[in-house]
Structure 1
Amino acid sequence: MTATARETIREAGRARGLPEPVTDAFVRLLRPCVYLCRYEQLPEELKENARPAARAAGPAHLPPGVVVPAYVPHLVTIDCAAIPTGVLDIDLPADGHVAILAEITDQDEGFAFHIPAGTETVERPPREAKPDGPKSYEAFPLYAVPGVTRPAHLHLSDVAEAVDYAEGDAGRARRVENLMDEINASLSVRWGHGIQLGGYSPAHHDPLEDRGDVLFVSIPESAVFDGDCVTFVSGTREQIAERRYDELDFGVES
Structure 2
Amino acid sequence: MTTSTVKELVLRTAEKQGVPGPVAQEMLTGSRPCLHLVPFQNLTLAQQEEARPAARTGGLPSLPDDVDWPDGREPLLLTVDCAALPREALDIELPPDGHLLFFAEIEYEPESSVVLHVPTGARTTERPATYELDGEPEQARVYPPNVLYPVPGLTVAPDWRDAPATSAFLDGGADRDDILDGFEDAVRDAAAGGASHGVSVQLGGYSSPWQLAPDEGDLVLLAQIHGQSIDHPVYTQTLIVGTREDIAGGHYQALSFEQQV
Which residue matches 1:140? Answer: 146
Contact 1:13–1:179 (Cα < 8 Å) also in 2 = no
Contact 1:18–1:175 (Cα < 8 Å) also in 2 = no
Contact 1:91–1:240 (Cα < 8 Å) also in 2 = yes
Structure 2: segments with no counterpart, 5+ residues: 132-139, 190-194
Determine whether 1:162 maps to 2:166.
yes
Pair 73,16 (structure 1): closer, same or farther in 2 beyond 3 Å: closer
TM-score under structure 2 length normalisation: 0.82
User: SS at the partner of 2:94?
Assistant: coil
2:98 counterpart (96, 99, 105): 96
Pair 16,46 (structure 1): closer, same or farther in 2 beyond 3 Å: closer
Which whole-Å CA distance do the structure 1 matches of 2:19 and 2:151 have between them? 30
Contact 1:215–1:234 (Cα < 8 Å) also in 2 = yes
**Aligned AA (1:243):** G
2:85 counterpart (83, 86, 93): 83
Pair 23,14 (structure 1): closer, same or farther in 2 beyond 3 Å: same
Tell me how far 1:10 sits from its aligned partner. 1.3
Contact 2:239–2:257 (Cα < 8 Å) also in 1 = yes
Which whole-Å CA distance do the structure 1 matches of 2:72 and 2:128 have between them? 8
Contact 1:34–1:144 (Cα < 8 Å) also in 2 = yes
Which whole-Å CA distance do the structure 1 matches of 2:114 and 2:52 have between them? 26
Identity of aligned residues (%): 34
2:251 counterpart (239, 244, 247): 244
User: SS at the partner of 1:209?
Assistant: coil
Tell me how far 1:112 sits from its aligned partner. 0.4
Aligned pair count reads 245
Tell me how far 1:211 sits from its aligned partner. 4.8
**Aligned AA (2:60):** P
Structure 1: segments with no counterpart, 5+ residues: 129-133
Contact 1:71–1:127 (Cα < 8 Å) also in 2 = no
Contact 2:35–2:152 (Cα < 8 Å) also in 1 = yes
Which whole-Å CA distance do the structure 1 matches of 2:15 and 2:176 have between them? 11
TM-score under structure 1 length normalisation: 0.85
**Aligned AA (2:166):** A
User: SS at the partner of 1:202?
Assistant: coil
Which residue matches 1:131? Answer: none
Which whole-Å CA distance do the structure 1 matches of 2:23 and 2:172 have between them? 16
Alignment of 1:96-135 (within 5 A): 96-104=98-106, 105-126=108-129
Determine whether 1:200 maps to 2:213.
no
Tell me how far 1:44 sits from its aligned partner. 1.9
Question: Deviations along 1:206-226, whole A, 9 cap, x unmatched?
Answer: 101235411101111111123
Question: Deviations along 1:122-175, whole A, 9 cap, x unmatched?
Answer: 2122167xxxxx963332211111111123x45632x23323x449x525x855
